[in-house]
Amino acid sequence: MHQIVLIIDFGSQVTQLIARRVRELGVYSEIIPCTKATPESIGKMAPKGIILSGGPASVTENNAPKVSPKLFDMNIPILGICYGQQTMVQELGGKVDISDIREFGRAKLKLETSCRLFSDQWKIGSEQDVWMSHGDKVTELPKGFLVVGSSPAAPFAAIADENRMFYGVQFHPEVIHTPKGTEMISNFVTDICECDSNWTMSRFKEDAIKQIREEVGSEKVICGLSGGVDSSVTASLVFEAVGDQLTCVIVDTGTMRSGEVEEVVQLFRDNYNIPLVHRDASKLFLDKLSGVTDPEEKRKIIGYNFIEVFEKEAKTIGNAKYLAQGTLYPDVIESISFHGGPSASIKSHHNVGGLPEKMKLKLIEPLKELFKDEVRQLGRELDLPASFIERHPFPGPGLAIRIPGEITREKLDILRKADAIFINELKNRDLYQHIWQAFAVLLPVSTVGVMGDARTYECVCALRAVTSTDGMTADFYHFKMDDLADITNRIINEVEGINRVVYDTTSKPPGTIEWE
Ligand code: XMP
């Protein structure tokens, strides 16, 4: 087994970034919720180091989440970040109080003493940009700890007990707004924890295949294919592991893009010879969606009926015990909180939750610790064609959430055509690979136009193109105006039903990537 740095999650929105930073150093890392971080489970994993994440709670509250005090007797180096620092301090006999001055955003860290956590890039006496997000602060250190750095609102912004290899920082080294944060994490992982930098995606693939084989044994597995990169990679990984014990199911909801279903069927059934069931359920979905305008209701109808159709297909396959899903880490973090209850729920993502519980199938989610770019890397390891791996993400509810208002077959046809032109133009102009996600939206608004001397009164199409690293934050793509003008012309000339095109220049936040 490979060396591992374990991240214990207290519910921070950026915990995943810690895992990402560690893995970028060539060291495997895994995240477990604080509620599952028992000394027994940690003992089994035998991590080379532990990082305690930030979190939204306050250690001054009675029921604040904690880890077992035994964790601090296991002779494992520990780095506490923000809430992680505070809970470690409290557990080891120090004090944490609610601060009069809260620090959110950029702050200056003054380094006062040297320690192994801060290498040459962090000079003693220098001031470094760091990113803070805290209300509470450490006010008294436990025995054995030294102050290493401070900020105006956090006198113990960086602390260390070098003998026990315990370190704490009030700021977030994992975010890009702490420019030297990666070096700090690297010092912890490679110098203090003494991890070798040898974890690669090909090792991840081998380990995942072994794990899937062990778990599944001789049982049957089913996997829903959507045409997206996540489900495609999951399916081919599981296929490598258990061969034709796997059956894939593609449910055509009627809200897929142009040519999508055919492409998936061709790739998996014809190229890879993976058993594949294709069910055209478009009539069912579109009938159920008829007259529905509320975005959440649309998502729920699609999610619910998807389960119904999928369940039926699973029965005809017979006795599948496992369901393989392409859930990614960002899907998990946006849908649950660390204690398993609902966190601020922005949208109901239909591929997460619901399905396994209702179907009583055991879940296999081999990608659930990975980020999108890592999934693409894994896809390359699995020799999936580039045209699949580089596909932009596509949401489970499909075009249904790109037609605000009521969905009709006519509107879907119009949107499919506009979307295909947009994507085709991006590919022809070599822009597709620079954009994280691009698509067209059909607005329920008609405007007046003039075409060939005649008045038109047709729909508005909005184009959306964003850059992002993980879909959690995004910026609109800065097109050259000529490109936008050409794309607009093609859509208006070629798609009957659209006479005006607009471009969405909203970032996320405050917008979301999808319109619904
Ligand atoms: P938002 O709109 O929340 O989207 O900014 C972030 C990313 O998630 C995708 N998305 C979904 N994916 N099921 C999915 O599988 C869903 O219900 C869903 N809703 C949004 C969206 O396309 C973007 O990539």
**Residue 406: per-residue pLDDT:** 97
**In the predicted model, what is the mean pLDDT of residues 189-216?**
95
Please give the distance, rounded to the nearest whole angstrom, from the Cα atom of residue 348 to the centre of ligand 1.
9
Query: Nearest residue CA, atom 14 of ligand 1?
Result: 395
Nearest CA to ligand 1 atom 3: 512
In terms of average pLDDT, the best of 34-38, 197-201, 283-287, 452-456 is: 283-287
Residue 515 · residue 404 · CB < 8 Å: yes
Give the residue, by CA position, lying nearest to ligand 1 atom 12: 395
Please identify, by atom number, the ligand 1 atom nearest to the C-alpha of residue 514.
2
pLDDT at 371: 82
Selected residue with higher pLDDT from 203 and 143: 143
Query: What percent of the chain clears pLDDT 90, i.e. is strictly above it?
Result: 68
Cβ atoms 319, 222 nearer than 8 A: no
**Which residue puts its alpha carbon closest to atom 21 of ligand 1?**
395
Q: What is the DSSP string of 309-365?
A: HHHHHHHHH--EEEEE----HHHHHHH--TTSS--S-----TTSSSHHHHHTPEEE-
What ligand 1 atom has the least distance to the C-alpha of 394? 22
Q: What is the mean pLDDT of the chain?
A: 90
Q: Which pair of structure tokens corresponds to residue 145?
A: 């700890």
Residue 137 has a pLDDT of 84
CB neighbours (10 Å) of residue 194?
11
Q: Residue 200: which H helix or E strand, with range?
A: none
110-169 residue pLDDT tens: 999 989 999 767 788 889 999 988 778 899 999 999 999 999 888 999 999 999 999 999
- Name the residue type at position 157: A
Q: Return the exposure string of 427-462: e unless at least 16 CB atoms fall within 10 Å of the residue's CB, then b.
A: eeeebbeebbbbbbbbbeeeeeeeeeeeebebbbbb
Q: What is the pLDDT of residue 214?
A: 97
CB of 221 shorter than 6 A to ligand 1: no
Q: For the segment 388-418, what is each residue's pLDDT rounded down to a tens digit?
A: 899 998 888 999 999 999 999 999 999 999 9
- Quick one: tokens of 31? 């995240």
- The answer, yes or no, to whether any atom of ligand 1 lies below 6 A from the CB of 173, is no
Q: Rounded to the nearest whole angstrom, what is the distance from the C-alpha of residue 449 to the centroid of ligand 1?
A: 33
Q: Decide whether any atom of ligand 1 lies within 6 Å of the 303 Cβ.
A: no
* Ligand 1 near 437 CB (within 6 A): yes
Closest atom of ligand 1 to 347 CA is 3
Which of 403, 461, 472 lies closest to 437, judged by CA? 472
365-384 pLDDT, tens per residue? 999 878 888 899 999 999 99
393 lines ligand 1 (CB under 6 A): yes
For the cut 50, the answer to whether the pLDDT of residue 490 exceeds it is yes
The number of beta carbons lying within 10 Å of the beta carbon of residue 207 is 15
Phi, psi values for residue 89, rounded to 5°: -60, -45
Nearest of 319, 321, 324, 348 to residue 336 by alpha carbon: 348
- pLDDT band at residue 335 using 50, 70 and 90 as cut-offs: very low
Q: What is the pLDDT of residue 472?
A: 74
Query: In degrees rounded to 5, what are phi and psi of residue 30?
Result: -135, 150
Q: Are 481 and 463 in contact (CB under 8 A)?
A: no
For residues 154-187, b (16+ Cβ closer than 10 Å) or e, as one string? bebbbbbbbebbbbbbbbbbbbeebebbbbbbbb
Span of 28-32, 113-117, 289-293, 337-341 with lowest mean pLDDT: 337-341
Distance 167 CA to ligand 1 centre (A): 37
Q: What is the pLDDT of residue 6?
A: 96
| Rounded-to-10 torsion of CA 350, 228, 287, 345 | 20
* pLDDT given for residue 351 in this prediction: 56
From 226, 298, 347, mutation site for ligand 1 pocket: most ligand atoms within 8 A of C-beta: 347
Closest approach atom of ligand 1 to CA 515: 2
Cβ of 351 closer than 6 Å to ligand 1, yes or no, is: yes
300 lines ligand 1 (CB under 6 A): no
Centroid of ligand 1 to alpha carbon of 229 (angstroms):
13
Average the pLDDT over 184-208 and give the result: 95
Bridge partners of residue 474, in order along the sequence: 508
State the catalytic residues. 82, 172, 174
Categorize the per-residue pLDDT at 228 as very low, low, confident or very high, splitting at 50, 70 and 90: confident
CB 331 within 8 A of CB 395: no
d(CA 344, CA 337): 8
CA of 328 to the centre of ligand 1 (A): 11
Instruction: Determine the distance separating the centroid of ligand 1 and the alpha carbon of 395, expressed in angstroms.
Output: 5
- Helix (H) / strand (E) containing 49: strand 49-52
Distance (Å, rounded) from C-alpha 366 to C-alpha 205?
9
Q: Cα(201) to centroid of ligand 1, in Å?
A: 25
Is the pLDDT reported for residue 470 higher than 80? no
3-class secondary-structure state, position 485: helix
344 confidence band (pLDDT: 50, 70, 90):
very low
Rounded Cα distance, 36 and 38, in Å: 6
Q: In what order do the strands lie in the sheet with 276-280?
A: 276-280, 246-252, 220-225, 320-324, 362-364
Partners of 194 in beta bridges: none
Distance CA 195, CA 106 (A): 30
If one residue of 513, 515, 516 were mutated to test the ligand 1 pocket, choosing by the most ligand atoms within 8 A of its CB, it would be 513
* Residue 339 CA: distances (Å) to CA of 6, 10, 406, 421: 18, 8, 37, 44
Strands 166-169 and 498-503: unpaired
CB atoms within 10 A of CB 40: 9
347 lines ligand 1 (CB under 6 A): yes
Confidence of residue 31 (pLDDT cuts 50, 70, 90): confident
Question: Which three-class secondary structure state does DSSP give residue 215?
Answer: helix
Q: Does the CB atom of residue 397 touch ligand 1 within 6 A?
A: yes
- DSSP structure class, residue 274: -
Query: 510 preceded by cis ω (within 30°)?
Result: yes
Task: Name the pLDDT band for 331 (thresholds 50, 70, 90).
Answer: low
Higher pLDDT, 215 or 119: 215
pLDDT of residue 110: 94
Q: Is the CB of 396 under 6 A from ligand 1?
A: yes
Distance separating alpha carbons of residues 261 and 251, to the nearest angstrom? 9
- Share above pLDDT 70 across residues of the chain, in percent, rounded to a whole number: 93
Cβ–ligand 1 contact at 508 (below 6 Å): yes
Q: How far is the CA of 27 from the centre of ligand 1 (A)?
A: 29
Q: Report which protein residue has its CA nearest ligand 1's atom 9.
A: 395
Atom of ligand 1 nearest to the CA of 346: 3
Give me ligand 1 centre to Cα 8, in Å. Answer: 26
Handedness of CA 67, 69, 70, 71 (dihedral sign): positive
User: Distance between CA 83 and CA 11 in Å, rounded?
Assistant: 10
Q: How far is CA 240 from CA 42, 201, 232, 235, 361, in A?
A: 30, 15, 12, 9, 21
Whole-number pLDDT of residue 115: 92
